[in-house]
Amino acid sequence: MTPRTATTAPADLSAPTSPPAEPPTWTGQPVRRVEDPAILRGWGTFVGDVAARDATCLYAAFVRSPVAAGRIRSITAPPGVRLITATDLAGVRPIAPELKRPDYVRVEMPVLATDVVRFVGEPVALVLAESAALAEDALDSVAVDIEPTPAVLDAAAAVRPDSPLVHDAAFPGDPNTTVDARLTTPGFDAALQSAATVVELEVSCGRQSAMPMEARASHAAVDRGTGRVTLHTATQMPHVVRTGICDCLDLDEDLFRVVAPDVGGAFGAKMSLAREDVALVFLARRLRRNIAWIETREENFLAAWHSREQRYQLTAAFTEDGVLTALGADIVADVGAYSCYPVTFGVEPLMAFAELPGPYTIAEYSVRSRAVLSNKCPIAPYRGVSRPVQTLATERIMDVAARRLGLDPVTIRQRNLVATFPHTTPTGLVLDQASHQEALVEAARQVDLPGFRERQAAARAEGRWLGIGFSCFAERTGYGTPAFAARSMAITPGYERVNMSMDPSGGVVLRIGASPHGQGLRTSLAQLVADKLGLRPEEIRVVHGDTDATPYGWGSFGSRAMVIAGGASSRAADTLRQRLIDIAADQLECAPEDVDLREGQATVRGTGIGRPIKQLARLAHHNSHLLPAGELPSLEVSATYDPGGTFSNACHVAEVEVDELTGAVQITRFLVVEDAGLLVNPAIVDGQVHGGVVQGIANALYEELLYDDRGILVTTSLMDYLPPTLAETPDIEIIHLASVSDATLTGAKGVGEGGTIGAPAAVLNAVSDALSPLGIELTHLPATPSRVRTAIRTAQARLSSEGALR
Amino acid sequence: MKPSSFDYVRPNTLQEALELLADGTEDSKVISGGQSLVPMMNFRLARPARLVDIGRLSELEVIRTVDDRVHVGARVRHVQLQNTPLGGPLGSLLRRSAALVGHLPIRTRGTFGGSLAHSDAASEWCLLTRLLDAEITVRSIRGERVIPAAEFFVSVFTTAMEPDELLTSVALPVLPDDHRTGIAEFARRAGDFAIVAVLGDVTVSDGTVTAARIAIGGVDDKPFRSAAAEKALLGGTFGLDLLQSAAEAAADEVDPPSDAHGDAVYRRDLVRALLPRALAAGAAA
């Protein structure tokens, strides 16, 4: 099937909120986000607002370990300070997520460190005070005495037999190795031996923080009458937080409510159970007091999950024509000191294991992928999970091989990208209908590669260093229970469920288990449902984030909500639509097949006869005796959707200019040709791409969490950890393709992570292209100015000494 | 992210402010624009027992030119200097330097004198005063004294001021038109503190450099004047070649620190890159 090509114009901000006439469908329209007016006016309700409105709540501040590894000797505070240590939490179960795999080593994360500390920033105690400032004062007065022990700070050293152990556990394989997945296809060795050329490359990525604008925040409130606790918390998965905390506290879930109010960004960093939250709920119940905890930015850097740190040793076999026949990879992910609940520290190595071949027709694959513990902050998902590094691996391989074989970067990719669907990868994933080839070709056409080469040559003659980099990838999105079950997760996410009801006035409430936190899902779902029910999007109100008000669901992560919650909403709307049609047909005395729902009316097709939908709603509630036989009163439906998953795809292109003397990289052009299937709201999709690309550029050039040689995090403020600002952000051009895939119910594919996945490789390929006369291939993220400059300095020294030898 | 508790006073007159600073209160700290002090207090890196807010002392907000000196009041905000109508090589250097100070909201509140009293070795104003051998006037109830920039900056966050002294104004020399001034700095992002910054002031007569001053930030714990670069420039024919050899001399001379943003070797490279750029506008070969 040929993908349709459409270029979106930039959103017209002066356009009225609702077009005067209704479009043929609301789906596909850049409808303005219903979420924005309140947020932009400061009328949102974040956890900090909930705490600020509670005059009686106590504030918690966590005492955190100043050393990477050690044994706690004592924790003391002066009289009058309300100090809580692990002893006070006796009976609370540790957080211990599990994979049911033979190579998985289960490690437990106590809510507060008991006798051993395992990373700088680990909570060892907490203090309670009447205000946040007094809690910080109390924190200052706490004395922590820890006897340091040898720390494990480097994954390569951690697996050696003489390494200290981060956890006192039995490791079936190498020391500190908690996941060790292996696979080799039968023809791998033969393919390697018959290769015309073999590219060997090591790529790696530093630690990155997802750095949501709102750090973590929670407020636990007790209903004194019932003892029931409500936790407002900045989370992506309120139902899972409830389950996790109830498991730790041995509590029935109906005694506990979790609410995710407005959440100020998350990007994966708010989809793991926080030990701080467990402590808060336990203490609120025990003390019968409301307790708030508003994390500081410094704490967020220290302890609120890191991501990305991994290293890939790669071997890639190519034919003379540039066909990649076999790919070998030894992947080590430094996962820090504990496992995150519920997805575990297998999330990065296992995703790399399964998805490294990406969009390429690689027949033979050999992989070993490990999670290795260290005395650093634990790893959790961050937008893209390991795919930015996977894509760096395959895309750097493509460019290195192209240079070696005398091919251009477009041709070598054309010879390897999947073109026929469905395509089964060496690890058994099925790529559904997509546009890998078409996206690349369109991107190359847009940037005029031959024209760029001319400009590049002219610039080089003036001593300026321009480069271009391509990056192609497949983005697995919207995967349901089967995909998670393949990882053998003890807690297996996947499905989404919705409840939909129409009230007597004809308004629709859609209750979802997904938990949007900035994505505009309330708007997009309303568009989908409005089309099914013949209503306007503003007549559909989406309720989310409250375990008391929504069906059990897994929340928003993994580019899944539009696909899965959207599919469930679409199904529910189909059922409700049919009920409205049946009622209308009975009223209008016609066949149901002849009734259409449009512009608020149920009409008999081809006639002017009809009934307002509002009238049908009132009838169903208030005159249910008039309903057709067998029709239940009121209008409530539920639906569930649990797809196998789908792959979005994109080709990113970066053009850069490198400052030879400072090593600074300026991105002069950034193009995204992406295919997420049906676009429900193209303005929202563009926003996802823009935000993702900026975080990808951050990964490529700016952001890195750095530990010193004692395991102390040195990047604990925004003076040292550097998210790019608008001043560092290029204009991002977007072209949409729209493959029609039957892998999802609505035709929409997920689009949340592609920007972060593709951008780092595009930028590093562009910088390497710029510096190719010096023979430089950059392979580490981020390529900071000092690293780029070091590469240039080293290469120039090598070239001049070689010149001297000649 | 909450400061430890502190007292706060806001005097109405300079005399009142000086009396407060001399009243024997321990750990009293002057606050002007608060753009460095407040973040440090929130991080609890600074824990003053009392803040003396000089925000009402409007007599410190004036820029006056008297003879061959421009007197910049301590409370002149960065943005005032960014928009100064002052002509000549000094006006140009002030505008270009001010534009590199933080972001617009910081420039709107932060003050010239506050930046000097804070004494960050990479700050544009510390470097500029050191470059131009400015004279810094400080007052206390004991009287007034003038401290040359060369003696004012002692180390990171440390100046030659006594605890009871208040920085009131800074005298900068008016620069005749045969001066060429410039600034170049390298920061990871717009508005960040420079990893390395270079400011230059050279006097060129018939193509020959007759006087030269070069100040470098980010290579020492206080603003650094590069004697080696100045020596290399003096008597030379002004142009890119001369600037590059001065840059080499400066890079050899400095002994920079290493940190997360760059090691000593990288900072030397930046000195090499930036010194010519600071003055290159007038140096087209």
CB A293 within 8 A of CB A132: no
Q: Residue B27 and residue A664: Cα distance in Å, rounded?
A: 42
Is the pLDDT score of A14 beyond 50? no
* Last residue in a domain, options B145, B173, B201: B173
- What residues of B are in contact with residue A715 (Cβ under 8 Å)? 260
Mean pLDDT of A666-679: 97
User: What are A369's strand-pairing partners?
Assistant: A181, A331
User: What are B61's strand-pairing partners?
Assistant: none
CB A656 within 8 A of CB A766: yes
* Last residue in a domain, options B125, B158, B173: B173
The DSSP-derived string for A348-397 is HHHHHHHHTTTTB---EEEEEEEEEE-SSPPB---TTTTHHHHHHHHHHH
Asked whether this complex has an ipTM greater than 0.85, the answer is yes
Backbone angles phi, psi at B118, to 5 degrees: -70, -30
Q: Residue A581 and residue A714: Cα distance in Å, rounded?
A: 63
Token pair 């030898």 in the structure block, residue? A805
CB contact under 8 A, A662 and B192: no
Reported as a pLDDT band with limits 50, 70 and 90, residue A15 is: very low
Q: Does residue B83 sit within a domain?
A: yes
Q: Identify which of A298, A384, A335, A355 has the alpha carbon closest to the alpha carbon of residue A694.
A: A384
Domain co-membership, B169 together with B239: no
Residue partners of A75: CB distance under 8 A and separation at least 6:
A63, A83, A85, A124, A125, A142, A143, A144, A145
Q: Which residue of B has its CA nearest to A790?
A: B266
Residues of CATH 3.30.365.10 domain(s) within chain A?
Answer: 212-303, 384-482+644-799, 495-641
Length of chain B: 285
Distance to chain A for B266, nearest Cα, Å: 6
**Among the partner residues B4, B263, B273, nearest to A661 by beta-carbon distance:** B273
Q: Residue A183 and residue A193: Cα distance in Å, rounded?
A: 18
Reported as a pLDDT band with limits 50, 70 and 90, residue B13 is: very high
Q: Does residue B1 sit within a domain?
A: no
Reported as a pLDDT band with limits 50, 70 and 90, residue A136 is: very high
Q: Residue B231 and residue B237: Cα distance in Å, rounded?
A: 13
pLDDT 10s digits, A436-476:
999 999 999 999 999 999 999 999 999 999 999 999 999 99
Domain span holding position B97 = 60-173
Is the pLDDT score of A19 beyond 50? no
Is residue B3 less than 8 Å (CB to CB) from chain A? yes
Q: Does residue B285 sit within a domain?
A: no
**Among the partner residues A706, A717, A789, nearest to B269 by beta-carbon distance:** A789
Is the pLDDT score of A761 beyond 90? yes
pLDDT 10s digits, A151-200:
999 999 999 999 999 999 888 889 999 999 999 999 999 999 999 999 99
Q: Does residue B145 sit within a domain?
A: yes
Architecture of domain A384-482+644-799: 2-Layer Sandwich (3.30)
Alpha-carbon distances of A386 from A206, A342, A353, B213, rounded to whole Å? 12, 17, 10, 51
Is the pLDDT score of A12 beyond 60? no
Q: Identify which of A213, A211, A217 has the alpha carbon closest to the alpha carbon of residue A48.
A: A217
- CA torsion A628→A633→A636→A637, rounded to 10°? -40
Q: Best of B4, B43, B188, B265 to disrupt the A interface by mutation (most A CBs within 10 Å)?
A: B188
Q: Does residue B105 sit within a domain?
A: yes
Domain CATH for B111: 3.30.465.10
Reduce the DSSP state of residue A661 to 3 states and report it. Answer: coil
Q: Residue B212 and residue B237: Cα distance in Å, rounded?
A: 12
Is the pLDDT score of A58 beyond 70? yes
Domain co-membership, B147 together with B186: no
Residues 44-83 of B with CB under 8 A from A: 44
CB A682 within 8 A of CB A28: yes
CB contact under 8 A, A724 and B261: no
Q: Best of B186, B196, B240, B274 to disrupt the A interface by mutation (most A CBs within 10 Å)?
A: B186
Structure tokens at A558: 């993994």
Fold of the domain built from segment(s) A495-641: Aldehyde Oxidoreductase; domain 4 (3.30.365)
Domain co-membership, B200 together with B262: yes
First to last CA, chain A: 57
Is the pLDDT score of A17 beyond 90? no
Distance to chain A for B7, nearest Cα, Å: 15
CB A33 within 8 A of CB A523: yes
Q: What is the b/e burial string over B84-95, where b = at least 16 CB atoms within 10 angstroms of the residue's CB?
A: bebeebbbbbbe
CATH for A212-303 is 3.30.365.10
pLDDT value of residue A806:
58
Return the number of other C-beta atoms located less than 10 Å from residue B257's C-beta: 13
Domain CATH for B33: 3.30.43.10
Task: Give the strand pairing for B153-155 and A177-184.
Answer: unpaired
Q: Which residue has the higher pLDDT, B109 or A6?
A: B109
Q: Identify which of B208, B138, B136, B197 has the alpha carbon closest to the alpha carbon of residue B166.
A: B138
Residue partners of A225: CB distance under 8 A and separation at least 6:
none
Question: For chain B, what is the domain count?
Answer: 3
Q: Which residue of B has its CA nearest to A723?
A: B189
pLDDT 10s digits, A342-373:
999 999 999 999 999 999 999 999 999 999 99
- CA torsion B230→B234→B239→B245, rounded to 10°? -50
Q: Identify which of A732, A721, A791, A727 has the alpha carbon closest to the alpha carbon of residue A756.
A: A732
- What residues of A are in contact with residue B261 (Cβ under 8 Å)? 720, 786
* Last residue in a domain, options B173, B193, B219: B173
Residue partners of A92: CB distance under 8 A and separation at least 6:
A111, A248, A249, A278, A279, A282
CB A478 within 8 A of CB A563: yes
CB B121 within 8 A of CB B221: yes
User: What are A556's strand-pairing partners?
Assistant: none
Mean pLDDT of A239-256: 97
- What residues of A are in contact with residue B44 (Cβ under 8 Å)? 136, 140
**Among the partner residues B1, B2, B266, nearest to A786 by beta-carbon distance:** B266
pLDDT value of residue A9:
44
CB A647 within 8 A of CB A709: no
Is the pLDDT score of A96 beyond 70? yes
Backbone angles phi, psi at B123, to 5 degrees: -75, 140
What percentage of chain B reaches a pLDDT higher than 70? 99
Backbone angles phi, psi at A396, to 5 degrees: -70, -40
pLDDT value of residue B282:
54
Q: Does residue B236 sit within a domain?
A: yes
- What residues of B are in contact with residue A662 (Cβ under 8 Å)? 186, 269-270, 273-274
- What residues of B are in contact with residue A59 (Cβ under 8 Å)? none
pLDDT 10s digits, A322-335:
999 999 999 999 99
Reported as a pLDDT band with limits 50, 70 and 90, residue A4 is: very low
Reported as a pLDDT band with limits 50, 70 and 90, residue B258 is: very high
Q: Does residue B24 sit within a domain?
A: yes
Q: Residue A184 and residue A203: Cα distance in Å, rounded?
A: 21
pLDDT 10s digits, B236-252:
999 999 999 999 999 99
Mean pLDDT of A125-150: 97
Task: Give all strands of the β-sheet with A601-604 in edge-to-edge order.
Answer: A595-598, A601-604, A610-612
pLDDT 10s digits, A496-538:
999 999 999 999 999 999 999 999 999 999 999 999 999 999 9
Three-class secondary structure assignment of chain B:
CCCCCCEEECCCCHHHHHHHHCCCCCCEEEECCCCCHHHHHHCCCCCCCEEEECCCCHHHHCEEEECCEEEEECCCEHHHHHCCCCCHHHHHHHHHHHCCCCCHHHHHHCEHHHHHHHCCCCCHHHHHHHHCCCEEEEEECCEEEEEEHHHHEEECCEECCCCCCEEEEEEEECCCCCEEEEEEEECCCCCCCCCEEEEEEEEEECCEEEEEEEEEECCCCCCEECHHHHHHHCCCECCHHHHHHHHHHHHHHCCCCCECCECHHHHHHHHHHHHHHHHHHHCCC
> Can you say whether the dihedral through the CA atoms of A320, A325, A328, A333 is positive or negative?
positive
Is the pLDDT score of A22 beyond 90? no
Q: Residue B167 and residue B163: Cα distance in Å, rounded?
A: 11
Domain CATH for B187: 3.30.390.50
Q: Residue B180 and residue B191: Cα distance in Å, rounded?
A: 25
pLDDT value of residue A805:
64
